[in-house]
Amino acid sequence: MGTHTISRSTASRSGEAVWNTAFLVVCAVVLAGLVTKLQQEFLPSALSTQVGHNSEVWALVLALGTGMFMLERTEATGTSRIPVLLVCLACLGLAAAVYWLGTPPTVKTLNEPLLGAGLLIGYLCLPRPLPRAVPWLITGIVAGVIVVWSQVTFVFLQAESMTALLVAPLAFDVMTSPARRTPKASAGRVTAWLSLLILLPALALASGDLRTEGGFAPDLVDYLARGAEGFWGVALLQLYVVLRRARSSAPIHSPTQVSKGAE
């Protein structure tokens, strides 16, 4: 019984590692294509421009996903989190570098998802379970910053990182859980949540002239539109994690559970 449990757990981790790697490679390829404007070779001009504006989605998913999947591995094997924290610091360093070192616009714009990913990887490294109020508190603080200071230069320029920080605590600690913990919400609630993450910024983008009228509400709608990629990046990563878990028929065991099974 113990050997069977261990082999299933090991096989499950190996299968997840393959899927995670493939997912990140796809994200990296798409991001590289958008940064180099490869889409201009085969897409109509207007569509190419619009698609190119979404490179931040893939940068956020690539950076945050790398940290998250490494964290899964460390929790499954009981190894040190130092490599994950190094990824966190690397994201923050890259965010500063691409912004301050005179990089091309298609690269400079990635400072937002890199900053957001670095901060969120640090958040995911906090010991779990967190007090139930913590993700709501963080989301509330970020929401307050957006509402009060959305027109302050730094907050305005970091719209995509701010929106990711706004929704990720709820995405990964209320709807689903980071690393290898069991999802906390029903499939219906998760579906509704993902729909909200996709549709809310889409509606803000479609608001047209409302965004240019000035005033509190138009400014807030404009900010949500500017931060659309933060919403969509979190949604894409969460959707992948949900689908990956759904396809896995083998239960995921912690090292403690495996040890008990072996006994």
Q: Tokens 């709608």 identify what position?
A: 221
11 pLDDT above the threshold of 70:
no
151 pLDDT above the threshold of 60:
yes
Question: What long-range pairs does 12-21 form, CB within 8 A, spacing at least 24?
Answer: 12/248, 12/250, 12/251, 12/252, 13/73, 13/76, 15/248, 16/72, 16/244, 16/248, 17/69, 17/73, 19/244, 20/65, 20/69, 20/72, 20/244
Q: What is the pLDDT of residues 41-92, one digit of tens each?
A: 888 887 787 788 899 999 999 999 999 999 999 988 889 999 999 999 999 9
Any residues with CB less than 8 A from the CB of 88 and at least 6 apart, and which? 67, 118, 121, 122, 125
What pLDDT score does 257 carry?
A: 40
What pLDDT score does 18 carry?
A: 92
Domain boundaries, the chain: 2-257
Residue 258's pLDDT band, with cuts at 50, 70 and 90, is very low
Comparing C-alpha atoms, which of 228, 222, 240, 177 is closest to residue 22? Answer: 240
Q: What is the dihedral of CA 242, 243, 244, 245, to 10 degrees?
A: 50
Residue 127: phi and psi, rounded to 5, are -60, 135
CB 7 within 8 A of CB 15: no
Q: What is the pLDDT of residues 184-218, one digit of tens each?
A: 678 889 999 999 999 999 999 998 777 777 788 88
261 pLDDT above the threshold of 70:
no
